[in-house]
Amino acid sequence: IKRLAREVKVWSRLKHHHVLPFLGVCTVGSVPYLISPWMENGHVLEYLKNHPNVDRRRLLAQVAGGLEYLHKFKPEQVIHGDLRGPNILISKSGNACIADFGLSELKSDAYDPNYSTPFILAGHPRWQAPEILKAETKEAARRNATTDVFAFGRVMLELFTGKVPFSHISHDIMASVRAMGGEFPPRPCDEEAVSCGLDDSMWKLMTDCWHSTPSERPSATDLVARLGA
């Protein structure tokens, strides 16, 4: 219930064309559910399987726009905390919307000592920044704008390849070990990835997002500019 309340607290404030709208809460029996518009195209990876010729760079620019909105949200910045392909839904008109705010935080809440260790350490390791994976304390594991940007780089890889980061490694734990060591997923050089738009500039943007020094990663505003160039 606490996590649901936290999600409502964050999501209900957001209104942007690349953020999934929040419509309300309903209860079925004793179980509460959050209501959003039905997105018939599913998440972005499903959409790309059914529409392989879609402009991936356009979708990424839309996600970056949504992320910029979250990071510039007033009066408090919003950290998504779990950005990955299945959490990006596609509208009827073919536009990307950031969804699933279950791990999102208002910046002021990101340092709440009442957050549990399981919540702090939640998330999917293939998309998490190494500083989170290596963190030994709750404080060190706090998500922030730079960890969202790191995850965005992983999302770029997903959209250009249709595969999870470190797809050549089947076990999440082994993938985490590689990521903790600062290793990048290998650059896909197959014809399909290149035809989907994975050129030198896009790979450079990905690796910039994965910079080992968080402060050296681009901002969401930088992402919007570089994807729109």
The 3-class secondary structure across 78-126, one letter per residue, is EECCCCCHHHEEECCCCCEEECCCCCCEEHHHHHCCCCCHHHHCCCCCC
Do 145 and 220 touch, CB atoms closer than 8 A? yes
Instruction: For the chain, give the percent of residues with pLDDT over 70.
Output: 90
Domains and CATH numbers, the chain: 2-228 (1.10.510.10)
pLDDT at 102 over 90: no
Identity (one letter) of the amino acid at 3? R
Tens digit of each residue's pLDDT (9 = 90 or more) over 110-126: 545 444 444 445 568 88
Do 105 and 87 touch, CB atoms closer than 8 A? no
The stretch 52-65 carries a mean pLDDT of 98
Exactly one of 55, 82, 190, 208 is catalytic; which is it? 82
Dihedral (C-alpha) 198, 200, 205, 211: value to the nearest 10 degrees? 120
Tens digit of each residue's pLDDT (9 = 90 or more) over 123-165: 688 899 999 988 888 888 889 999 999 999 999 999 999 998 8
Tens digit of each residue's pLDDT (9 = 90 or more) over 206-226: 999 999 999 999 999 999 999
Is 199 one of the annotated active-site residues of the chain? no
pLDDT at 56 over 80: yes
Q: pTM of the entire structure?
A: 0.88
Q: Which residues of 152-177 are buried (b: 16+ CB within 10 A; e: fewer)?
A: bbbbbbbbbbbebbbbebeeeeebbe
